[in-house]
Structures are given as C-alpha cells and as structure tokens.
Amino acid sequence: MGFALWIEGDVAWAQGTHEYRPMGAAVIARSGVFSPRDFHPRRKSPHRHSPEFVGFFASLGQVNRYLKSNRPRQKYGGMAIL
C-alpha cells in the first residue's frame, strides 16, 4: 500500500494503491479522516509536483495520524480547541 497526500486550504486529497492496484483518489475536509470508501477510481488527484503536495505515506492510518496532528487550532474565548 501507499498513499500520496495533498492539502489545499480546508481540503485534503489522497491518492492510494492497494496491493499494486490503484484505488483512485479521495477528497475530504482537512479536519476529517480518510476511509477506504472515500476513494474512487475515476477521481483525479492534484499533480504530484503541485505546491500542496505533502508527501508519501505507507498506510491510510499514517495519513490520518498526520491530518489529526496537523489540524489548524481554533481559538474560542482565549482557549485553543482541537
């Protein structure tokens, strides 16, 4: 398995392969997490050389951990909300 990740503003894109078969691409809110059902073979991901490209990941779990750890923090009444 392998996944490429792009982040464009409030949207996250991923393109994946599973056992050397293309899964297609998925797009979700940056604050969400990917699931295998999000991927569609006909959906096209951004170009690998675009400035929004984050990197390659070995599993969907790694992609989701990255997204969770890099969520933009919102301030509410002087307190950070995750």
Give pTM, 2 decimals.
Answer: 0.80
Are 34 and 64 in contact by the 8 Å Cβ rule? The answer is yes
Model confidence over 20-73: pLDDT tens digits?
Answer: 778 899 999 999 999 999 999 999 889 888 999 999 999 999 999 999 998 766
Please report the sign of the dihedral spanned by the C-alpha atoms of residue 34, residue 62, residue 12, residue 82: positive
